């Protein structure tokens, strides 16, 4: 019974736009665990026992949170299902402070990538990829899934990305020439694959490979690392794009609201709160907000 309920629940979540990959797998394991103990309904004690098998506290919290949401869904129609208490703490970890690159640091990373490794397509691939991430704010996963047909006169078509949303990302006129130069090298190298970015194996890039390449370029470019510093990652280029866009926002409540909504849509955020997060996560933005508030209070206007 629980296995069937899990299948129905997962189908509903996916129909609502959630990928529900690992969470669906975990729920199936929980259903099998419960049914092996003769349970046909969610039992709090069984849920806590199953979640407690995980090695770390964050993993236990996530497991139990998944079951809690599942139990609430079932209990809406059947009061026999029990909602487990939150005994392992909050699921979500505190988001790390983002590393925001300066324009000079971005140039150094791209330059280092263009000189890293052998004189092969690899240099052009990673220098072009990092430049595209910096200019567009794409997620790394979105960039490495781009197909040749996704490059259109109107911009890049991002198909069913995070939250299963699709969107069109405009390209600045200065970006297209660099992308076209890369494609002139890339297309003859791997004519059998239509991904924009390919590895030396003539396969789509893997996220792990991108992270290693960025780490190498960041180190060669002299970006700070180690304890006490936010860690630069490929995703830092997206963070940087978002922060620069917010810094360029005009004054005025209506203008700020419109800018936030536009930026949230452009970045493909699931909710605008994810865009507002940058205001509290980046010291430079917090300092600007404080300065504007002070001017407003002192009668100088915002």
Residue positions annotated with a catalytic role: 139, 162, 235, 238, 269, 278
Determine the Cα–Cα distance for residues 249 and 276; give it in Å rounded to an integer.
Answer: 13
Q: Which helix (H) or strand (E) holds 152?
A: strand 151-152
Say what angle helices 103-114 and 121-136 make with each other, to 10 degrees: 160
What CA–CA distance (Å, rounded) separates 300 from 83? Answer: 54
- Where do the H-state alpha helices sit in the chain? 2-15, 22-36, 44-51, 57-75, 103-114, 121-136, 140-144, 175-189, 207-220, 235-247, 253-267, 273-281, 283-297
Separation CA 221–CA 217 (nearest Å): 6
Determine the angle formed by the axes of helices 175-189 and 121-136, rounding to 10 degrees. Answer: 150
In this structure, are residues 110 and 234 in contact, taking their beta carbons and an 8 Å threshold?
Answer: no
Structure tokens at 89: 């703490």
């Amino acid at each position: 019974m629980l296995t069937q309920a899990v299948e129905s629940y997962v189908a509903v979540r996916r129909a609502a736009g959630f990928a529900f990959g690992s969470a669906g797998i975990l729920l199936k394991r929980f259903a099998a665990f419960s049914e092996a103990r003769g349970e046909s309904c969610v039992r709090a004690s069984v849920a806590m026992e199953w979640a407690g098998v995980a090695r770390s506290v964050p993993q236990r919290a996530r497991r139990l949170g998944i079951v809690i949401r599942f139990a609430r869904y079932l209990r809406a129609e059947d009061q026999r299902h029990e909602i487990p208490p939150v005994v392992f703490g909050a699921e979500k970890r505190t988001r790390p402070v983002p590393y925001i690159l300066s324009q000079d640091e971005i140039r150094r990373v791209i330059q280092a990538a263009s000189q890293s490794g052998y004189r092969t397509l690899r240099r052009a691939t990673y220098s072009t990829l990092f430049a595209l991430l910096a200019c567009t704010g794409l997620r790394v996963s979105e960039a490495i899934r781009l197909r040749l047909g996704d490059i259109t006169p109107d911009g890049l078509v991002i198909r069913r990305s995070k939250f299963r949303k699709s969107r069109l990302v405009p390209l600045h006129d200065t970006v297209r020439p660099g992308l076209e130069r890369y494609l002139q090298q890339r297309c003859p190298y791997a004519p059998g694959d239509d991904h924009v970015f390919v590895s030396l194996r003539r396969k789509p890039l893997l996220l792990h490979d991108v992270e290693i390449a960025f780490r190498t370029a960041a180190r060669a470019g002299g970006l700070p690392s180690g304890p006490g510093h936010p860690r630069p990652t490929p995703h830092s280029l997206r963070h940087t794009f978002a922060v620069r866009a917010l810094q360029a926002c005009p004054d005025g409540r209506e203008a700020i609201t419109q800018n936030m909504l536009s930026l949230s849509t452009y970045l493909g955020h699931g909710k605008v709160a994810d865009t507002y997060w940058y205001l509290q996560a980046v010291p430079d933005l917090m300092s600007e907000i404080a300065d504007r508030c002070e001017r407003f209070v002192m009668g100088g206007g915002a």
